[in-house]
Chains A and B, each alone.
Chain A
Amino acid sequence: MLPILARRIANIIPTLAAVVALVFVLFSVLPGSFVSAMNEDGRTTIDPAVMERMRKEMGLDDPVTTRFAKYVTHIVVGDLGTSFRTREPVTKLISPRVWPSLKLVFAAMCFAIAIGVPLGFIAALRPGSVFDTASMVCAISGLSLSQFWLGLMMMYLFALQLKWLPSFGYGDGGIYHLILPAIALGVGPMALLARTTRAAVLDVLNADFVRTARSKGMTETRVVEWHVLRNALVLVITTIGLQFGSLMGAAVVVEKLFAWPGVGSLLVDSVFQRDIPTVQGCILLIVTFFLLINMLIDLAYVAIDPRIRYG
C-alpha cells in the first residue's frame, strides 16, 4: 500500500504545480488591480501618493517573474499571502471556513450515495420494470435541475411556509441548518450515481463470471452479493470521486444561497472585492482537496479490487 501511496502523491505534485502557475497567470493579467478598484468604487477617492505607496507595499509594481517566484516560495511554506481587503493572512481568513464547507460537501455526498446507489442498484436488478422507469425518470430530472433553484424552492416550502427548518445560515453548526443545503447540493450527484450504478450493475450482470457463478448453482442472492456488488462498486466509486469536483463547484452557489459560511461563499465575496490573494487561496484549496479525494479513491480501488495492483 505504501509504495502506491507514494506514487499517487508524486502524481499529484505536477498537477498542483500547474494549477498554481495557472491561477497565478490568470490573475496576474487581471486588468484592474485592487488599488484602482478601490478608487473606482467612488466611495473613497484615494490620494495618488497613497495609491502609489499601497501598490509598493503590496508588491504590485514588481516584475511578474519576481512576483511569481515570491508567490511560489510562499505557497511552499504554506503562506497563501495577505488579503488585499482585510490585511490579514489568507490562511487565517480561510481556515474557519474549511470545516463548514467540508461538512456541507460530505453531507451532500452521503445523501447522494445513500439514495442514489440503492436506487440504481434495485433498478438494474429489475430492468424495464415500473420501478426502473420511475427511478430513471427521477434521475434524469435530478440532473436537469438547477441546484440553487431547488434550494430556493425548498427554502420557500420547508423554511418559510411550513417552518420546519431554518431558511439560511449556519446556526450553531447543528444538523437542522445543514439539511436543506445538503439536499439541494446532493440531488445532482444522487441522480448521476443512480444512473451510473444502474449501468454498472447491468454491465456486470452480463459478464461471463456471473454466468459461471449461476451455472455452478450459486443462489441469485449470493451472486449479487458476492460478484455483482463488488465489481460494480469500482465504477460507482470512480463516479463518486469525480463528482466531488462538480459538487464543490455547485457548493459555491449553494453556500451563497443559504448564506453558509464556507470556502465557496468566501471565494465569491472575494471575487467581488477583487481580493486576489484570497481568490487564489480558495481556488488552490478547492483543487487540492479534489485531488486528495481522488487519490483516496484510487487507493480504495486497490482495497476493493485485487486485480488492480499498480505494478
Chain B
Amino acid sequence: MSQSTPASVTADIAAKRRFRLKGGLSLWVGGALVGIALAVAITAPLIAITDPVMSANLMNAEIPPCWEFPFGTDAQGRDIYSRIVYGSRISLTVGVVSQIVNSLIGVSLGLSAGYWGGLWDDFVSGLTNLMLAIPSLIFALAIMAILGPGLVSLVIALGLTNWSYSCRLARAQVLSLKSQGYVQAARILGYGDLRIMFTQLLPNMLGPLIVIATLGMGGAILSEAALSFLGLGIRPPFPSWGSMLSEARDQINTVPWLSVFPGLAIFFTVLGLNLLGDGLRDILDPQTTTRR
C-alpha cells in the first residue's frame, strides 16, 4: 500500500487538544448510554408494559410496531418492548458480575505474580499465556457445555475466561511501581507484603484496571448474546437479548422487527460501555493511546 497523502503533522498539538475534547465527548455520550441502560434495568417493572414471559396472547401475535406495542409483538403475542426492558437486567448482570470475577482473578494473580516474582510469576505467566492461546468464546462455550445453560453458568464461564488482560496489566503495573520510593518506604516501615499490595500498589493502578473492566463488560455482553444465540446461554422463554435473537432468526423474513430491536439494544449498550471506557482511559490512563 503506498499512501502519498502528505501528513499535516505540523498541527500536532492542536490535533491532540481536539482529540482530548473528543475523549470528553465520548465519555459523556458513553456515560449517558450506560446510564440509560442501567436506569432501564433498575426500573424494569415500572416501565415495562406487560410481563415479559407470562403475557403470551395469541390474539396479539406478530403485530408490527405500533402505538400500543412500540417494538411489535412476537409469535406468542408477547410485547417485544417489555421483553427488551427485562432483558437489560440479564445483560447488565452478566456484564457486571463476570467483570467483577475477572478483575478479582486477574488482579490477585497479576499483583502477586509481579510482586513476588520467581516461580509463582513463571506459573502465572504460563497460565496467562495458556488463556490467551484459547479463543475466549471457545473456552466459554466449552464451560457452558459442561455447566449447562443458565445465568449462573454464564457468569462463571465468562468470569473464568477473560481475566488474562487485567492480569497482565496488573503485573506490568506492579513491576514498574515496585521500585517507587513510596513502596520502598512502606517496606522499610515494616508493612507486610499483602498490606503493601493492597494499600500501596492497588490504589495506584486502579485507573487502567477500571478502563479494562469497562471495555470488558461490553465484550461480556456480546459473548452472552452469542452464547444465548447458540442456545447455550439463557434459554427461552426468559428474555435475554441473545435468546430473543435466537428465537427471531427463523422468522427473519416474515417478522423482521423481532430481530431488529434486541440487536439495537445490544449495540447501544455495548457502544455506551466502549465509549465510556475510551473516555475513562483519556482521564485515568494518560500514557496509553486509544488502542484495543
Do these two chains interact? yes
Contact in complex: A271, B1 (CB < 8 Å): no
A183, chain B: closest CB distance, angstroms: 16
Q: A27-B146, A156-B252, A160-B253 are in contact. Are A252 and B259 (CB under 8 A)?
A: no
- Chain A residues whose CB sits within 8 angstroms of the CB of B290 once the complex forms: 195, 198-199
Contact in complex: B142, A283 (CB < 8 Å): yes
Taken together as a complex, chains A and B put the C-alpha atoms of A131 and B137 apart, in Å, by 33
Which residues of B from 1 to 42 have beta carbons under 8 Å from A? 1-9, 11-12, 14-16, 18-19, 22, 26
A190 close to B (CB within 8 Å): no
Contact in complex: B225, A146 (CB < 8 Å): yes
Question: How many chain B residues touch the partner (CB < 8 A)?
Answer: 64
- Chain B residues whose CB sits within 8 angstroms of the CB of A257 once the complex forms: 229, 249
Taken together as a complex, chains A and B put the C-alpha atoms of A193 and B291 apart, in Å, by 9
Of B14, B15, B245, B273, the contact of A149 (CB 8 Å cutoff) = B245
Q: A15-B130, A195-B292, A249-B136 are in contact. Are A149 and B266 (CB under 8 A)?
A: yes
B194 close to A (CB within 8 Å): no
B33, chain A: closest CB distance, angstroms: 10
Contact in complex: B1, A125 (CB < 8 Å): no
Q: A27-B146, A268-B230 are in contact. Are A133 and B245 (CB under 8 A)?
A: no
Contact in complex: B6, A221 (CB < 8 Å): yes
- Chain A residues whose CB sits within 8 angstroms of the CB of B256 once the complex forms: 156
- Chain A residues whose CB sits within 8 angstroms of the CB of B11 once the complex forms: 127-128
A229 close to B (CB within 8 Å): yes
- Chain A residues whose CB sits within 8 angstroms of the CB of B273 once the complex forms: 144
Contact in complex: B146, A26 (CB < 8 Å): yes
Q: Mark A223-266, 1 if CB is under 8 A from B, else 0.
A: 11100110000000000000001101110110011000000000
B260 close to A (CB within 8 Å): yes
Contact in complex: A152, B137 (CB < 8 Å): no
- Chain A residues whose CB sits within 8 angstroms of the CB of B136 once the complex forms: 245-246, 249
Q: Which stretch of A40-48, A57-65, A81-89, A286-294 is in the interface?
A: A286-294
Contact in complex: A246, B146 (CB < 8 Å): no
B232 close to A (CB within 8 Å): yes
Taken together as a complex, chains A and B put the C-alpha atoms of A100 and B145 apart, in Å, by 24
Contact in complex: B252, A160 (CB < 8 Å): yes
Of B134, B141, B249, B289, the contact of A271 (CB 8 Å cutoff) = B141
- Chain A residues whose CB sits within 8 angstroms of the CB of B142 once the complex forms: 23, 26-27, 271, 279, 283
Which residues of A from 12 to 43 have beta carbons under 8 Å from B? 14-15, 18-19, 22-23, 26-27, 29-31
Q: A126-B8, A152-B259, A153-B260 are in contact. Are A146 and B138 (CB under 8 A)?
A: no
Q: A27-B146, A128-B14, A155-B252 are in contact. Are A250 and B226 (CB under 8 A)?
A: yes
B198 close to A (CB within 8 Å): no
A101, chain B: closest CB distance, angstroms: 13
Of B130, B225, B232, the contact of A18 (CB 8 Å cutoff) = B130
Measured CB to CB, the nearest residue on chain A to B6 is A220
Taken together as a complex, chains A and B put the C-alpha atoms of A188 and B19 apart, in Å, by 23
Give the A-B contact count at a CB cut-off of 8 A: 190
Taken together as a complex, chains A and B put the C-alpha atoms of A290 and B136 apart, in Å, by 12
Contact in complex: A148, B229 (CB < 8 Å): yes
Contact in complex: B135, A153 (CB < 8 Å): no
Q: A18-B126, A19-B134, A149-B267 are in contact. Are A253 and B252 (CB under 8 A)?
A: no
Contact in complex: A133, B133 (CB < 8 Å): no
- Chain A residues whose CB sits within 8 angstroms of the CB of B248 once the complex forms: 152
Question: How many chain A residues touch the partner (CB < 8 A)?
Answer: 71
- Chain A residues whose CB sits within 8 angstroms of the CB of B242 once the complex forms: 146
Of B2, B138, B225, the contact of A283 (CB 8 Å cutoff) = B138
Q: Mark B245-279, 1 if CB is under 8 A from A, else 0.
A: 10011001100100110110011001101110010
B166, chain A: closest CB distance, angstroms: 16
Measured CB to CB, the nearest residue on chain B to A271 is B145
A140 close to B (CB within 8 Å): yes
Measured CB to CB, the nearest residue on chain B to A264 is B138
Taken together as a complex, chains A and B put the C-alpha atoms of A256 and B290 apart, in Å, by 33
Taken together as a complex, chains A and B put the C-alpha atoms of A202 and B273 apart, in Å, by 25
A8, chain B: closest CB distance, angstroms: 14
- Chain A residues whose CB sits within 8 angstroms of the CB of B143 once the complex forms: 26
Taken together as a complex, chains A and B put the C-alpha atoms of A141 and B11 apart, in Å, by 27
Contact in complex: B15, A127 (CB < 8 Å): yes
Taken together as a complex, chains A and B put the C-alpha atoms of A19 and B133 apart, in Å, by 8
Contact in complex: B4, A206 (CB < 8 Å): no
B132 close to A (CB within 8 Å): yes
Taken together as a complex, chains A and B put the C-alpha atoms of A150 and B131 apart, in Å, by 28
Contact in complex: B245, A152 (CB < 8 Å): yes
Contact in complex: B138, A29 (CB < 8 Å): no
A118 close to B (CB within 8 Å): yes
B201 close to A (CB within 8 Å): no
Contact in complex: A225, B141 (CB < 8 Å): no
B109, chain A: closest CB distance, angstroms: 16
Of B8, B18, B259, B262, the contact of A125 (CB 8 Å cutoff) = B8
15 A/B residue pairs, CB under 8 Å, sorted by A:
A14-B126, A18-B126, A26-B143, A27-B142, A125-B5, A140-B275, A143-B292, A147-B226, A153-B263, A220-B6, A228-B7, A256-B230, A268-B230, A283-B138, A283-B142
9 closest Cβ contacts across the A-B interface? Answer: A249-B137, A149-B263, A144-B271, A127-B15, A249-B135, A144-B270, A128-B15, A220-B6, A128-B18
Chain B contact residues, CB within 8 Å of chain A: 1-9, 11-12, 14-16, 18-19, 22, 26, 126, 129-130, 132-138, 141-143, 145-146, 218, 222, 225-226, 229-232, 242, 245, 248-249, 252-253, 256, 259-260, 262-263, 266-267, 270-271, 273-275, 278, 289-292
